[in-house]
Structure 1
Amino acid sequence: MKAALLALALGAPALPAAAGEAACWYENGMVVVTAQVAGFVGDYILDTGEPRTTLAETQAQEMGYAGPQVTGDVLLAGVRLTGLPVAVADLDVRTGLLPTPVAGVIGADVLKDQVVDVSFAPCRVRLSRPGRAPAFPGQRLDLAWAEGRPVALAGASDGSTALRGPFVLSTGLDAPVRLSEALAAAPGAATPGELLPYGVLRPRLAALSFGDALLADVPAGLMNPTPDSVAGALGAPVLARWRVRFDFPAGELRLQPAS
């Protein structure tokens, strides 16, 4: 069967961790790291594109928590943040792409005051306080926020129509790129719902530009809802071309070739 095309609408084993650093694993487009959230130690999806940290409902019940939210500490890569509100939700759909269950999702609310370095191969996560991070040469992009999610400029094209705008940067997205339903469609898709997050359809986007990279024929999908003015989201399969620094306090994204 010929792959659908996405059209734009006109208009490994863990290694010992250094201080402030932790081993992670990267599979099916998601970064997963061991952490402790509200007293529960487990594997968590690290998702820079998720505004809230969430504890899986099953794990919350094991800890005796009831209700849609708990308050607790988060311990990640040697950094402890205290008294954070943590959502409780069923994550079965989101974690279905991973070989083992995860305990939850660590989101941007935990990361926003840190300098976060992510390497994908080998997978490592490092957290530093502002002004204490090691040197990280590489190209610089502006980093902004949209409804609690970090965004940077990127471009997309279906071969005849192009757009450029803010894209959410997500280390836990289930696809390399997703575009807002308001800006794109997949004509002829038999089951449009499968184009949305955690659906099985992956139409192809003709071209994607981000930083100094121009990618062709990229597996993609749609997303809805999206924050106002956001064109879409870029996932870890795109970000993994580089070592990435999210300097959230400084409003900077740094990209260093992965090699």
Structure 2
Amino acid sequence: MIAGLFPPSQAIAGKTGCAPADWHDFDVDRDRHIRVPVTIAGIPFSAVLDSGATRSVIDRRIADRLGLTAQAGYTARGLTDDVEGAIGEAATVRIGDIALSLSMGVLDLGALSTASSRPIDVVLGREIFEQGIVDIDFRKERIRFLNRDCRPGDGRAIVLPLRNKDGMYSVTAAVEGRGDVDFLLDLGSTVSVYLSPSYALETKLLEGKKVSTGMTAGMEGLDLSLLSTLRSFNLAGVEFRNVPVAIPERWSQQTSGVIGLPVLARFRVQIDAAAGHIRLTPDGDTHREPFARDRSGLSTSREDRHLRVLHVARGSPAERAGMRANDRIVAINGVGVPKAYPPGAIPIGRRPAGTVVKLLTAEGGDHSITLEDYY
């Protein structure tokens, strides 16, 4: 629950008339998370903005560090399963000149941090979107929070109804020319599109396609998914081609799928939860740009001075090169694994098809992997 809202001088919901709102910079990290600088109880953090979270969440170790007391009674709904947590006492959360007093959920976010290039300590969820209009400009990497009297105008914007599914937002979209179905709107998901296993089975979606496997991460931990590619995906009348899709073994949502940040970031996004709609403005020709994908077949986590292999994808270059789960990668192309892996902005597996990557494992194996689109 929200223990308190914005102070009267800052509250979005309490303002009348469309007052100007400051823009706040954010960065979209290499894992495709929106990272927003915040302070909690006066201490700075980098928070992940997540429209798929029914409430804001703080990692258990951070709550302990801040001295926040917590009581049992909070259950978070993940993509594949529910997660039991606690509810922390109210703390002041500031984003720029905006302040909220929130009782956040307290969870172990370790699995998310393990799969990320940077720790995930705080997740900003539904409370942020309920206070007014959230306006996200991905091209300029900035965000602003408008009061409900503001209705940003743009003749190119497509307005879609925003539904409420168990405290989460959903819109309709179409897969490969089939009829529109409900998809959760998840700015916190780094996967372009998730589909439920029942939808994939009923529509025979995978017939005739390359199919592999991969590890995906959520608040509930790591899960195995089937990986493939959609020939087309239509959102707001915009058609995307060759879209990577993940189909988890388990599914706990009421929708047929989830739309993640790699798709949503190709629009200017304005979420108006109070009015029950979302405005999507196509960002130039970005819908034609290819989607990032892994071409190695390795799911890894960072451990000290090596990468631990969590999963080797079926039929992938890594599998053909003899890589196995639990291998420890200690060098990439003759260079030790850097502390801040991946180096630069592009993980090894997301480099162009045909790139040769040489890996050395602590188990004494030399593996040469030629990257390719294996799904």
Calculate the TM-score normalised by the size of structure 2. 0.57
Counterpart secondary structure, 1:95: helix
Q: What residue number does 2:182 align with? A: 166
- Give the Cα separation in 1 of the matches to 2:179 and 2:112: 29
Question: Aligned residues, how many?
Answer: 236
2:190–2:262 CA contact under 8 A, matched in 1: no
CA 1:38–1:235: 2 relative to 1, 3 Å:
farther
Report which structure shows greater RCO (CA 8 Å, sep ≥6): 1
Whole-angstrom distance in 2 between the partners of 1:120 and 1:146: 26
1:26-105 → structure 2 map (5 Å cutoff)? 26-27=28-29, 28-37=31-40, 40-67=43-70, 68-70=86-88, 71-82=90-101, 84-105=102-123
Distance 2:62 2:216 in 1: 30
**Distance in 1 (alpha carbons) for counterparts of 2:100 and 2:151:** 18
- CA RMSD after TM alignment: 2.6
The structural deviation recorded for 1:111 is 1.6
Which of the pair is proportionally richer in strand?
Answer: 1
Deviation, structure 1 residue 124: 1.0
How much does 1:40 deviate? Answer: 4.3
The share of aligned pairs that are identical, in percent, is 24
Q: Deviations over 1:162-189 (max 9, x none)?
A: 3521111111102000012221256896
SS at match of 2:198: coil
Indicate the larger mover: 56-65 or 43-52: 56-65
| Structure 1: distance between partners of 2:96 and 2:272 | 16
Aligned to 1:152, which of 171, 189, 198? 171
Structure 2 residue identity aligned to 1:41: P
Larger radius of gyration: 2
Please give the per-residue CA displacement for 1:96-148, whole angstroms capped at 9, x wherever unaligned: 34332132110113322320011222211111110135434411111111011
Query: What corresponds to 1:209 in structure 2?
Result: 234
1:226 to partner: Cα distance: 3.6
Alpha-carbon distance in structure 2 between the residues aligned to 1:169 and 1:143: 9
Query: What is the CA distance between 1:57 and its match in structure 2?
Result: 1.6
Question: Residues 62 and 174 of structure 1: is their aligned pair in 2 closer, same or farther, counting only changes over 3 Å?
Answer: same
Counterpart amino acid of 2:215?
Answer: E
Q: Offset of 1:78 from its aligned partner?
A: 2.9
Measure how far apart 1:29 and its partner are: 2.2
1:136–1:96 distance in 2 versus 1, CA, 3 Å: farther
Which secondary structure does the structure 2 equivalent of 1:60 belong to? Answer: helix
Give the corresponding residue for 1:258.
283
CA distance in 1, matches of 2:97, 2:170: 26
The one-letter code sitting in structure 2 at the alignment partner of 1:225 is W
Q: Structure 2, unaligned stretches of length 5 or more?
A: 1-19, 71-85, 285-375
Structure 1 residues 34 and 78, CA gap change in structure 2 (3 angstroms): same
Cα-to-partner distance string for 1:184-228 (whole Å, 9 max, x where unaligned): 25689676x836755576321222110121112211112543432
TM-score of the superposed pair, with normalisation by structure 1: 0.80
Q: Unaligned regions of 5+ residues in structure 1, if any?
A: 1-17
SS at structure 1 position matched to 2:104: strand
Matched, 1:225 2:228: no
Q: Distance in 2 between matches of 1:235 and 1:38?
A: 30
User: Is 1:107–2:125 an aligned residue pair?
Assistant: yes
1:104–1:195 distance in 2 versus 1, CA, 3 Å: closer
